[in-house]
Amino acid sequence: MNDSPPPSRAAVKFEDVSKAFADRHVLDHVSFEVEEGTAFCLLGRSGTGKSVSLKLMIGLLKPDQGRIFIRDSDITRLRSHELPDIRKSMGFLFQNSALFDSLSVGENVAFPLRRHSKKSESEIQTVVSNKLGQVGLEKDAGKMPSDLSGGMRKRASLARALALDPSILLVDEPSSGLDPITSREIDELLLGLKSGHGTTLVIVTHNIPSARRIGDRLAVLDKGQIVSQGTAAELDRSNHPLVREFMKSEAGG
């Protein structure tokens, strides 16, 4: 009798992915998998293709070579009108929060529901209230983005990203511009999504303490290639100079 567990299902998978802009090769034959319900942190210097990887995952860019799977769907072979259904299962937390400045916090969270769901207005308001409560902004629905601190803007953006209950959340520099205490609070929210809801997290970050707290697996990009990937403990033992430099860092942001 075989008691071994069934093979894990990849929520996101890159197979030999390359992407260039003009003569600049941003990604060069990159491969990795993100298991369902885990957190994967992508590390590296600025301009090494981390944010480009997130845009490829959600279909905002197409690779020049290779395949990208969101679960069983090869999104590199989908036509533009087929991508929205895939995107509905994914949330995107932008580095700069990217809230609509002309809409209140509540209206920002309601926006994807009005655009991509058939919920009634009362149902939408219930979801908005629940999502803002989830991130600790239940009393701030009527505020405008300009009235919020950096940490509150990040929380509001997270609430909007969660409006459609995505099973995969893509996060671009969650601690950027935040103080260490607020950064840790955002980390705790993300960890709660993983442990409490089984959300798969793909996180681009420069913040090594944050990556250690959140990431089940980490990968380091350099010159368009993944030079090391594994658990934080495995990367700590790496002999690669850049990996060692990153993993010794205690600076946030």
pLDDT tens digit string along 182-229?
A: 889 999 999 999 999 899 999 999 889 999 999 999 999 998 999 999
Rounded to whole angstroms, the Cα distance separating 150 from 176 reads: 9
- Number of Cβ within 10 Å of residue 9's Cβ equals 12
Structure tokens given for 108: 């920002």
How deeply is 23 buried, as exposed, middle or buried, from its count of CB atoms within 10 A (0-12, 13-18, 19+)? exposed
Q: Is residue 248 part of a domain?
A: yes
The answer to whether residues 153 and 108 touch, using CB atoms and an 8 Å cutoff, is no
Segment 32-63, tens digit of pLDDT: 999 999 999 999 888 778 989 999 999 999 99
pLDDT tens-place string over residues 118-146: 999 999 999 999 999 999 999 999 999 99
In terms of residue numbers, what domain contains 182? 19-89+166-253
Q: Are residues 58 and 84 in the same domain?
A: yes
Gyration radius from the chain CA atoms: 18
Task: Kindly state whether residues 251 and 192 are assigned to the same domain.
Answer: yes
9 lies in some domain: no
Q: Please say whether the beta carbons of 37 and 215 come within 8 A.
A: no
Q: Return the closest-CA partner of residue 36 out of 165, 158, 164, 167.
A: 167
